[in-house]
Structure 1
């Protein structure tokens, strides 16, 4: 598929650099149909050109990319934010399941982001996703957006009992009995679901320590959903110290 692509970036050299990189890593799939450098220009171009893919800088010369999203009428496109590194903003992106690239953009990460688009069945910008992002930028996040092919699920962190990964997929087990599978590996969530509430006991398992029924010195954790999970040898000492400090 060829994606009609719009680049929204107010720095000329960065627009040029991204254009060249797109040609290098995905030239056969990308057709750049325009550039915008302001909120007003971006809003008009999205509604007029109806792109398949939009790369959007957060900070524009007359506002932010979020203002663009609030003003557009056409919203069935893939969105990838571009941003300079700032840990609070990056965590907000992760909690909100919004795709993003850090500046300076790495060519392999760019290719991975485009490849990820190819596995999605729907081209939909979820307004709930953006709303959660704006909320998460303004405070410490307490909810996580989990994207699936069927829907975007917003879950409170306290609802997450445990996460189990298999290859590039992660299944979230929730307190209400639901299981939500997302097409991202557990490592994508490990640095936002942090101790002392969450702990990765094993390569395949990350748990909410408040949902532990019991654990043994032999290295097994019994959870309130009746699952029994192993603690890896490398994690035992750290896990036992965490539990001791929590008591």
Structure 2
């Protein structure tokens, strides 16, 4: 596992490194420290991390300017910053957590537990999913997302306007970020239940979900009972 820390204060960077090492214990973790935004971006371009710790104020560089690129990427981002007024916007853009400075071990461990435990949801609500298209970042309001389909190393966002957008994050990572209205109904599908009409039982005991768009998606056998309760 590779964890990247972009932090220009050496004392805080080393503290993050030490606490993160303690959290993972004997698990193999490679932690890279970068003291500038450009060094961090170069490191990401060289090898994609599994997790990024990002400060929002780096020697005058505004980490928020590249945040859209980070949350559109295949890895999770945790903000570590004294700019707590930026927290609401950061969550809206899809960061996994916002750890305010100064922080203690309990607070950092809470953020890391969110990273390793998909079932732990953040309290704040994500509003957008950032996607990359032709080198540009576009923000998609999650209210426009009908469902998300696993597509190899990518995921497909299926939107109310009939368009599809590719996202670099896996279904598992997106499920951690999205609110409870998004339900994993199948190993390959994550659905906005506000766009669902009813559960269908087809011949051969196959379960399917009829959407308001009249599309029909498969429901995994292990997901049927829980989904049925939520659809009542």
Aligned with 1:155: secondary structure?
A: strand
Q: Counterpart in 2 of 1:232?
A: 220
**Counterpart residue number, 1:96:** 93
Offset, 1:17: 8.4
Distance 1:161 1:190, change over 3 A: same
Q: Please, which runs of 5 or more residues in structure 1 have no aligned partner?
A: 37-41, 110-138
What TM-score comes out, normalization by structure 2 length?
0.55
The residue that corresponds to 1:241 in the other structure is 229
Give, in whole Å, the separation in 2 of the partners of 1:164 and 1:71. 29
Question: Which of 145, 152, 166 is matched with 2:130 structurally?
Answer: 145
For residue 188 of structure 1, give the secondary structure of its aligned residue in structure 2.
helix
Decide which structure has the larger Cα Rg and report it.
1
1:143 Cα deviation after fit: 2.3
Q: Do the aligned residues in 2 keep the contact of 1:58 with 1:66 (CA within 8 Å)?
A: no
CA RMSD of aligned residues (A): 4.7
In structure 2, C-alpha distance between the alignment counterparts of 1:17 and 1:235, rounded to whole Å: 38
| 1:183 pairs with one of 168, 172, 183 | 168
Partners of 1:223 and 1:145 in 2: how far apart? 24
User: How big is the shift at 1:223?
Assistant: 1.7
Gaps of 5+ in 2: 22-28, 45-51, 72-76, 81-85, 100-107, 116-123
Which residue does the alignment assign to 2:103? Answer: none
> Residues 90, 13 of structure 1: CA spacing in aligned structure 2 closer, same or farther, 3 A cutoff?
closer
Taking structure 1 as reference, are residues 240 and 151 closer, same or farther at Cα in structure 2, changes over 3 Å only? same
Structure 2 CA distance, aligned partners of 1:7 and 1:157? Answer: 28
The aligned counterpart of 2:183 is: 199
Number of matched pairs: 179
Superposed, which structure 2 residues align to 1:23-172 within 5 Å? Answer: 35=35, 52-53=42-43, 57-58=54-55, 64-65=57-58, 68-69=61-62, 83=79, 96=93, 140-148=125-133, 150-172=135-157
Q: Aligned equivalents of 1:223 and 1:71: distance in 2?
A: 36
